[in-house]
Amino acid sequence: MTRRRWIADRAAGNRAWITGSHAEHLARVLRAKPGQKFDVAVEGAVWEGTVVSISPEEVEFELGRTMEPALLPEISVLLSIYKFDRLEWALEKLTELGVATIFPIISRRTEPHLGKAAEKRVERWRKIALEAAQQSRRAKPPEIPVPMPLKKAIVDINGCGIVLNEAEAEEAASLKSVLRDCRPPIWLALGPEGGWSAEEIELFRQNGWRTASLGRTILRAETAAIVAAAITLSELADNPPQRH
């Protein structure tokens, strides 16, 4: 039976603790008892954790043997900020898929009031990612930096950068074909509702990014993010990079 996994709020020596709503869920909903075992992730490592003490405020675990965490693909996503409810759905699903880093981006077509409010939402976004990481049995959630302008985000990346450009869907190569010439780490850039501006596409190209399309149908911004990440994961699984 697969054990429930928790990401520790703090750890010291062979002890780890979870607090707040997660502790309350363990104590009052799951009715966990001392001696019960769970998987506990601490700074990306996964341990077998045995409950030592439990209350609705805090659960203490004794850490036992370590377990090999699943290796996550080196995929980062630049996600232009759009309506928060749909953006947060995309954040949750990208976390479940295993994306390493999600960069909230302020682009030319980001609505000004959303761009201003975004920085105050980062902690909420990180909490959503934490919940999704635990549900999907990740060892840690993706990094979510504070929102930044596009120009700052795309320079000096290490790896293969691909910008999804639906404005040129009929002329652009498919994402799958572009990925065949890429090796991790891979960066995917997804635009806002209305897509990237021509000036932004040119900025990507000047910084060495490749353009690709998800096909001729026009997808919602959050749908495009999930589709792009899933295609990339599938392509990496089918064509793993060769080690030299």
| Stretch 180-187: mean pLDDT | 92
Task: Evaluate whether 76 touches 101 at the Cβ level (below 8 Å).
Answer: yes
Q: How many CB atoms lie within 10 A of CB 153?
A: 20
The model's pLDDT over 221-239, given as tens digits with 9 standing for 90+, comes to: 999 999 999 999 999 876 6
Q: Report the length, in residues, of the chain.
A: 244
Percentages helix, strand, coil for the chain (3-state, rounded to 5) are 35, 25, 35
Q: Which two tokens stand for residue 37?
A: 């075992």
The residue ranges of every structural domain in the chain are 5-67, 75-238
With a cut of 70, say whether residue 9 has pLDDT above it.
yes
Answer with the residue of higher pLDDT: 143 or 236: 143
Residue with the two structure tokens 């596009």? 150
Identity of the residue numbered 4? R
Answer with the residue of higher pLDDT: 192 or 188: 188
Answer with the residue of higher pLDDT: 155 or 94: 94
Q: CATH code for 75-238?
A: 3.40.1280.10
| pLDDT band at residue 242 under the 50/70/90 scheme | very low
- pTM for the full model? 0.84
The model's pLDDT over 79-91, given as tens digits with 9 standing for 90+, comes to: 999 999 999 999 9
Q: Return the percentage of the chain with pLDDT > 70, whole number.
A: 94
User: What topology does CATH give the domain 5-67?
Assistant: Ribosomal Protein L25; Chain P (2.40.240)
| Element holding 7 (H helix, E strand) | strand 5-7
Q: State how far the Cα of 202 lies from the Cα of 74, in Å rounded to an integer.
A: 25
| β-bridge partners, 210 | 162
With a cut of 70, say whether residue 243 has pLDDT above it.
no
Q: How far is CA 56 from its chain centroid?
A: 29
3-state secondary structure (DSSP) of residue 231 = helix
